[in-house]
């Protein structure tokens, strides 16, 4: 067991949560077509080019939760991922862009591999995130899910990505969902908690809004779209609904809650699109890693290629960049 104390994220107090407030969400109506239209125009109404695009891509790197969640993960793979998190860009790119220091937002692994990540990231200030609660399905008994959270925290995880029980959303059992998420929040102790909604399995955007609101009321510090294992993962219309719920919660409570899209995002273009969403809907505060994360790894390779092109006018082969 590690004696590593969770490192609080800078400049962001924990979400204290509130008692379950059904009137905040039960009568909500979501116009799916309007949400899809708004999402479709986000990237056409605002474009970034040249040095501004490079700056947005560097910022995306700062917000990436560099992740490995494969059945064949090993301590060596995690150590390699952590080395990439410490040094996400080659020296010639760092020098060309005039960057003094750059790391990813966090490294995310399974609970069993938290000690390997803690060891590899020692002294870097990069948080270690761990999935838990029977990821990705979340169908283990609650006592086991809570025990898994406590295990990951004891091993040194700074952040816990929990999964909700989707059937509670589909059945409208909001009290049960609230109680479970609140119990998970308590089990996290000082570690920050991201609540994964698995939006691809919630069927409607109304359900996405309601689940987002209940998770935040129960104390989630972040709300997250997906596990990356569903058939449909992060999409801009779903993300739009979630950040609107996040904005509504903030207006009622004065608390700033973070947002993390995850799964299916692979390109630098995706990194720009989700940052535009955050800037347009929530403002510049949500372009920082304490309130915004991108759950991706393969995206980093394309960002590197785009930054190489910005500096040299040529695209490098993927094989030239260290694997994330």
- State the catalytic residues: 161, 224, 260
Query: How far apart (Å, rounded) are the C-alpha atoms in residues 150 and 153?
Result: 5
Task: Give the closest residue to 141 by CA, choosing from 101, 170, 183.
Answer: 183
Query: How far apart (Å, rounded) are the C-alpha atoms in residues 27 and 243?
Result: 18
Distance, C-alpha 178 to centroid of its chain? 21
Handedness of CA 106, 110, 111, 117 (dihedral sign): negative
Whether the CB-CB separation of 81 and 68 falls below 8 Å is answered with yes
The DSSP output letter for 294 is E
Whether the CB-CB separation of 107 and 82 falls below 8 Å is answered with yes
Query: How far apart (Å, rounded) are the C-alpha atoms in residues 214 and 72?
Result: 34
Whether the CB-CB separation of 253 and 24 falls below 8 Å is answered with no
Query: How far apart (Å, rounded) are the C-alpha atoms in residues 48 and 280?
Result: 14
């Amino acid at each position: 067991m590690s004696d590593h104390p969770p490192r609080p994220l800078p400049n962001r107090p924990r979400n204290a949560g509130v008692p379950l407030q059904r009137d905040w969400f039960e009568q909500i109506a979501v116009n799916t077509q309007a949400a899809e239209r708004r999402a479709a125009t986000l990237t056409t109404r605002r474009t970034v080019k040249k040095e501004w695009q490079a700056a947005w891509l560097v910022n995306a790197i700062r917000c990436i939760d560099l992740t490995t969640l494969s059945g064949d993960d090993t301590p060596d793979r995690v150590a390699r991922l952590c080395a990439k998190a410490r040094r996400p860009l080659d020296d010639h790119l760092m020098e060309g862009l005039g960057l003094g220091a750059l790391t990813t937002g966090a490294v995310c692994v399974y609970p069993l591999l938290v000690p390997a990540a803690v060891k590899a990231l020692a002294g870097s200030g990069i948080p270690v995130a761990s999935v838990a609660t029977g990821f990705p399905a979340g169908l283990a008994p609650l006592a086991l899910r809570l025990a898994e959270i406590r295990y990951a925290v004891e091993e040194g995880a700074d952040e816990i990505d929990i999964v909700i029980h989707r059937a509670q959303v589909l059945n409208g059992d909001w009290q049960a969902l609230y109680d479970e998420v609140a119990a998970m929040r308590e089990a996290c102790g000082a570690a920050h908690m991201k609540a994964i909604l698995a939006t691809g399995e919630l069927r409607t955007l109304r359900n996405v809004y309601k689940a987002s609101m209940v998770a935040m009321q129960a104390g989630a510090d972040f709300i997250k779209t997906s596990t990356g294992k569903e058939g449909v993962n992060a999409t801009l219309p779903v993300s739009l609904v979630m950040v609107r719920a996040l904005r509504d919660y903030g207006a009622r409570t004065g608390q700033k809650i973070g947002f993390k899209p995850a799964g299916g995002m692979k390109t630098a273009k995706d990194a720009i699109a989700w940052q535009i969403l955050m800037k347009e809907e929530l403002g510049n505060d949500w372009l920082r890693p304490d309130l915004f994360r991108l759950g991706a790894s393969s995206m980093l390779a394309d960002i590197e290629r785009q930054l190489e092109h910005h500096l040299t006018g040529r695209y490098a082969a993927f094989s030239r960049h260290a694997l994330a």
